[in-house]
């Protein structure tokens, strides 16, 4: 799915609330085209998209899921509804930006929330990331006093994690790989009424 002479990677953001719009601003700053979609008619958020930039393209959910890399920026409770948009997600990378705060661990079967999301998106390669910062911080320019704002990434698919890491760098961030979803990934996942230890940590890499 990497960009080549014959193939341009297509991006989409599913969910256009505060987090979705913050992500869209990251793409707009670099002039990278990204589709944005919700379960609503795209005409209902055309003005918000236009205010962010000309590379932010409102689409229907059915159109947006044709992208190669999708940022899932909806409420955790809504992820299963989005997953129903395709019978399978083979070959696509899903970046899970959801936070399952307040969801009892037993409702997740004792699994990390990202594993529950991965199970819903049959065939997808899932990367947990971009979810530890509040929207107001994520929306800011990631270049900070000569450094780059850190985004944490976790995945059981090293190739997918590397690809999203490269995209994060393209967007101006400094990606930090945490390992698998059940190991380092727990540092950026809520469990019941507790937050992972790296949630809300606004770090800047000056390397």
Question: Which class in CATH covers the domain with range 11-201?
Answer: alpha beta
Does position 6 have pLDDT exceeding 90, yes or no?
A: no
Give 110's contacts (C-beta < 8 A, 6+ positions apart): none
Dist. CA 108–CA 117, nearest whole Å: 10
What pLDDT, on a 0 to 100 scale, did the predictor assign at position 2?
47
Contact (Cβ atoms closer than 8 angstroms) between residue 109 and residue 141 = no
Which of 89, 46, 50 lies closest to 67 in space, CA to CA? Answer: 89
The pTM assigned to this predicted structure is 0.94
Does position 38 have pLDDT exceeding 70, yes or no?
A: yes
Domain regions of the chain by residue span = 11-201
Dist. CA 51–CA 117, nearest whole Å: 31
Average pLDDT value over all residues in the chain: 95
Average pLDDT over residues 64-89: 96
> In sequence order, what DSSP letters do the residues of 26-94 get, joined into one string?
HHHHTT--EEEE-SS-GGGGHHHHHHH-TTEEE--HHHHTTSSEEEE-S-GGGHHHHHTTSS--TT-EE
Task: Give residue-wise pLDDT tens across range 44-65.
Answer: 999 999 999 999 999 999 999 9
Which band of pLDDT confidence, cut at 50, 70 and 90, is reported for residue 207? confident
Does position 94 have pLDDT exceeding 90, yes or no?
A: yes
Q: The tokens 């107001």 sit on which residue?
A: 136
């Amino acid at each position: 799915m990497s960009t080549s002479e014959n193939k341009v990677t297509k991006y989409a953001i599913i969910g256009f609330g505060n987090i979705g719009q913050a992500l869209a601003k990251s793409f707009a700053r670099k002039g990278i085209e990204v589709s944005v979609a919700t379960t609503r008619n795209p005409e209902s958020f055309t003005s918000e998209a236009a205010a962010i930039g000309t590379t932010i393209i409102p689409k229907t959910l059915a159109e947006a899921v044709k992208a190669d890399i999708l940022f899932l920026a909806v409420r955790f409770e809504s992820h299963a509804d989005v997953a129903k948009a395709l019978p399978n997600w083979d070959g696509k990378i899903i970046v899970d930006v959801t936070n399952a705060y307040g969801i009892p661990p037993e409702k997740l079967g004792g699994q990390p929330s990202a594993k529950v999301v991965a199970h819903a998106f049959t065939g997808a390669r899932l990367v947990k990331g971009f979810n530890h910062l509040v929207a107001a911080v994520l929306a800011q320019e990631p270049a900070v006093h000569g450094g780059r704002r850190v985004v944490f990434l976790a995945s059981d698919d090293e190739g997918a994690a590397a690809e999203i890491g490269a995209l994060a760098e393209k967007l101006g961030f400094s990606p930090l790989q945490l390992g698998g979803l059940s190991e380092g990934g727990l540092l950026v996942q809520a469990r019941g009424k507790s937050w992972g230890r790296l949630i809300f940590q606004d770090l800047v890499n000056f390397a």
